[in-house]
Amino acid sequence: MQHWLQKHHLRWKIGLVFLFGLLFMANHVMAEQPDGVKTIPNWEMKWGGADDKVQDIIASSDKDQWMSIESGAEMPDKPKDVSTAWVRIQLPENLPKDFGLYIDGIYAQQVSVYIGGRLLNEVKFDFPYDEQRSLLPISAEDGGGSVYLKLQTSMERLGIHSDIQLDHYTSLTHTFIFRDLQNIILGFAFLFIAVIMLICSLFLKQKQRASWISLSLIILTLGTIFLTYSPFLYANFTPFGALILNIFDVSLAIFLPSLIYFYEKIFDNGKFKWIRIFRKFQIAYSAFCIILMLFNQVNQFQFIETYLFFTLTMLSVIMIFEFILIISLSIVFVIRGNREAVIFSSGFAIFALMGIFDLILYYSNNQKYQFFLWKFGVVGFIIALIVILGRRFAINQEQMSNYSKELEFYNHQLQLSEKMEMISSLAASVAHEVRNPLQVTRGFLQLVAARTDDKNKEYMTIAIEELDRASVIITDFLTFAKPQLDEIVELNVSKEIGQIEGIIVPLATLNGGQIIVNVPSDLHIFGNSSKLKQILINIIKNSIEAFQADGQIHIWAYEKNEEVFIHIKDNGEGIEPMQLRKLGEPYYSTKTKGTGLGLMVTFRLIEIMKGHIEFKSQRFLGTEVIIRFPNVTIN
């Protein structure tokens, strides 16, 4: 899954840039005022009754009941016992052909539009939603006449809260259609991303699936909220208005628990019990709101005030508390150096900043500004959440990779240990059984050599040398099988290396190389002098045998973290990575005629002396051997 994300990372970036471009285009289209648009400077409004007829309103001569409303002024508050309002709009005398009238913001569940007593348009919502828009065609014959709007509602708001525009009908249709383009683009984009993420969750591991699905639900519910928040759906799919409104409420009820659950999974991980308690409360409250919604709808919205109290007023308070809780904890995690918290706080800050800009523009434009920047803040916040989740997946993947490597290493060590144990037992028994016959044979060969002629004596000498060579191999077998340190004493590393210089320096010179030694005189370890020398000679001898032209061996030592480090580095042929892993295994050697016993014995002796050995090598550049022993402090 992570490989797929890395592979398509560029495509995701291009997609996000494309989405932002569409949003800016949509906003430009929405905000653009067509040339020649006119705004009605004022209109009149009066409270009425549900049974009022338009003919009675037109015939009425009581002018005192009409209130004059200036364009841009605040909408009058609706009296509690009133459910109907009439709006009268005076049209200019001279109107071109194919003109139209557009009202962007109307608070009413039912809107009836009349010109000269005839009904032009009527929209009725049988569900608790009161945001409407109205676009009316007006002919030249209607010039100088009046447009009457009968507004009815069972909710708290009633009236017109936007400008009333006059322009060519085609231009206003363009504005009317593209008014909610942002919400539609964002909604479908988020829904598409969420569906893809939910499909991908089927291929994730159980540990990763919870946070992935919670983020998918956040994106899914936000996409649904964007779509169902738009008046476009209610105006064009009025028969399904109640269903659309219920989907909005359910999405909001799912969004809040999903957000706190995602936050808990990413940051808290069970550290704070009260976050888990709040998350459980949030889930229970969301379930209560959904049950209350179904109960209210079954009873034909008779309990709408109770429903709005719990799903609007109380839920807003809970939402504010949740945001404060998340922000406070994010600040704590940022102070502690949590990088995910920094990303989360940045995304949330973008969302808050866009909201603040919206409010500033709203009040600086006489409250006629349409909020849209907050949507970009939501997009920025979602991107931050996706980045956090992707980063967490990358960290988990790296941990799993490290665990796999450690498991492979320990498994290799276990196999090697079992192999060593088996070979040790076999080597000990074979060595004991073979050494005695070899010694007897060597003795008889010496006796025969003393009594034979010179020619046969030469053959006897060669035979004795080969028997001695076999004896050395058997000794190595015994040392490997049962390494024993005859005497454990405090050793001066510098002196021990100095004593073997007389052996290794001439050997290096004969092979066309040199040895550079840089060892302080104050390094001490516990061990056996002869075994330490055997370890060093075996390793240095291997380096000499790997000499190329102008061979060089550098030996240096130092103390670090209560350990003595001895480095032996050459510039020889180097060792392949696959060969490097096998060094020290029974009977493995990189030499053509090697038995592998030398390094086997070296590894065992270092282990007995409580030390560690490490190899670093690059082909044709050389090999470095690092040996560590516990340090001995001299008072």
Q: Closest Cα to residue 389, out of 258, 252, 273, 271?
A: 258
Identify which of 335, 325, 324, 331 has the alpha carbon closest to the alpha carbon of residue 345.
331
Sign of CA dihedral 583, 586, 590, 594: positive
Spatial distance between the Cα atoms of 396 and 339, rounded to a whole number of angstroms: 15
d(C-alpha 94, C-alpha 620), whole Å: 95
Contact partners, residue 29, CB within 8 Å, separation at least 6: 174, 178, 181
State which residues of the chain have pLDDT below 50: 1-20, 22-35
Whole-number pLDDT of residue 469 = 72
pLDDT of residue 31: 42
- For the chain, give the percent of residues with pLDDT over 90: 20
Tell me which H or E stretch contains 197.
Answer: helix 181-200
Contact criterion met (CB below 8 Å) for 88 and 131: no
Looking up tokens 């015939």, which residue turns up? 59
The whole-number pLDDT of residue 401 equals 81
pLDDT at residue 365, rounded to an integer: 66
Task: Return the closest-CA partner of residue 98 out of 136, 147, 139, 135.
Answer: 139
* Closest to 514 in 3D by CA, of 483, 543, 556: 543
To the nearest 5 percent, what fractions of the chain are helix, strand and coil?
60, 20, 25
Which tokens belong to 163?
């400008």
Overall pTM surpassing 0.75 (yes/no): no
Q: Coil, strand or helix: which one is 628?
A: strand
Residue 15's contacts (CB-CB under 8 Å, 6 or more residues apart) are none
From the CA atom positions of the chain, what is the Rg in Å?
Answer: 44
